[in-house]
Amino acid sequence: MKKTPSILKSKVLIIKIGSSLLIKSNKFDKTWLQGLVKEISFLRSKEIKIIVVTSGAVPLGRNYLKVDTNKKLKINEKQACAACGQSILMNFFIRAFEVERMKIGQILLTFSETEERRKNLNARETINTLLESGVIPIINENDSVATEELKFGDNDRLAARVGQIADADTLVLLSDIDGLYDENPTFSKKAKLINVVKKIDKKILAMGSSKTNVYGSGGMKTKIEAAEIAMSYGCNTLICNGNREKPIRSILKNKKYYGTWFIAKENQESRYKRWIAGSINVSGKLIVDDGALRALTRGSSLLPSGVIKITGKFIRGDVVQVLTVKNIIIGKGIVAYDHLESKLIKGKKTSEIFDILGYTGRDELIHRDNFIVT
């Protein structure tokens, strides 16, 4: 068994709850939630700050509005279900946490709160204020206003981005499966549980099955994607079975079962650069030459002269991906020009920018302070 991190050494811990754990046989499982609250109480006694990211609003709204669980919802129907279900969900949470004499606060986030820097900072302030006040933030995606084009669609990746906002060092994804298997355990008796992942490559990504149910919107694929986001800013991720009795403490005591740990490298980058690294919404791609590759890996800025090709549509201030001519990702950065301007000045010297654009902007397409090697 490879060495795994200790949950008890966490300073800020994100716990993500899947719908399949909360909703069983078309009913809300109050007993399960109360058990989890006791786990959270135990972790808080160890002076660990806890943030909960939960699903469940849409299925609760379905039940409340008596919508057929087999019906595929239109966006407006899903929004209506979320609007009704969110208040019901929070009512269950308030009652469960009151038993353990803990206070909670609701935060509903949309995609823009995590991807736009100003809104990201506002969300950080709210979360930190709640934590400092001894209140546990209960976070969900604001499905009642989110659109399909600008939404996470699953709370795994939302939880990972919340972790970045809150400077979390551990993310726990509670699911209805023990962790990541090398094969789908539903169909293969030879499937083996992978306990530790240190790097997410094509082989690991291929192991993510599309196993879903009527209530869940994710699957193993989105959990791996969430772990990849968390690892980018130095946060360890654990995927484990939330249906086990005392799911958190079972990880601490059980010598045979550990779930699957995704181990992050120690990250000394600034919060700003970690935000860039974890950005989900990449608006475009810049293909650079070998000279620019060497400059970027040495910590220099990206000049227009080193850019060979540009794809995508973006505006100044958007996050873009930088790749080699062999399509290998170098990193991510905040671009100083929009896509039309960038295409005009790519491959050109800095001294030529004024003659081409008619004004003098930044010398760099991406300044070194706005770039992170991933």
Domains plus CATH for the chain? 7-273 (3.40.1160.10), 282-373 (2.30.130.10)
pLDDT for the residue numbered 260: 93
Q: Rounded CA gap, 71 and 323, in Å?
A: 42
pLDDT for the residue numbered 215: 40
Helices 155-165 and 117-132: crossing angle in degrees, nearest 10, is: 80
Helices 30-45 and 75-99: crossing angle in degrees, nearest 10, is: 60
> Are 264 and 234 spatial neighbours (Cβ–Cβ below 8 Å)?
yes
> To the nearest whole number, what is the mean pLDDT of the chain?
88
Complete DSSP assignment for 237-306: EEEEETTSSSHHHHHHH-SS---EEEPPPP--S-HHHHHHHH-----EEEEE-HHHHHHHHTT--B-GGG
Which of 198, 163, 199 is closest to 52 using CA atoms? 163
Helices 271-278 and 220-232: crossing angle in degrees, nearest 10, is: 150
Which of 333, 283, 160 is closest to 230 using CA atoms? 160
pLDDT for the residue numbered 110: 82
pLDDT for the residue numbered 255: 60
pLDDT for the residue numbered 213: 36
pLDDT for the residue numbered 149: 45
Residue 342: Cβ-neighbour burial (10 angstroms; 0-12, 13-18, 19+): buried
pLDDT for the residue numbered 232: 85
Which of 338, 324, 255 is closest to 292 using CA atoms? 324
Which of 174, 158, 155, 138 is closest to 217 using CA atoms? 155
How would you classify the pairing of strands 170-175 and 329-334? unpaired
Residue 202: Cβ-neighbour burial (10 angstroms; 0-12, 13-18, 19+): exposed
Which of 74, 80, 42 is closest to 61 using CA atoms? 80
Write out residues in the chain with pLDDT < 70, as ranges: 1-2, 146-153, 209-218, 254-257, 267-271
pLDDT for the residue numbered 113: 76
Complete DSSP assignment for 121-159: HHHHHHHHHHHHTTEEEEEEE-TTT--GGG--SSHHHHH
Question: How far separated are the first and last CA of the chain, in Å rounded?
Answer: 28
- Bridge partners of 284, per DSSP, are 312, 320
Count of other CB atoms within 10 angstroms of residue 245: 7
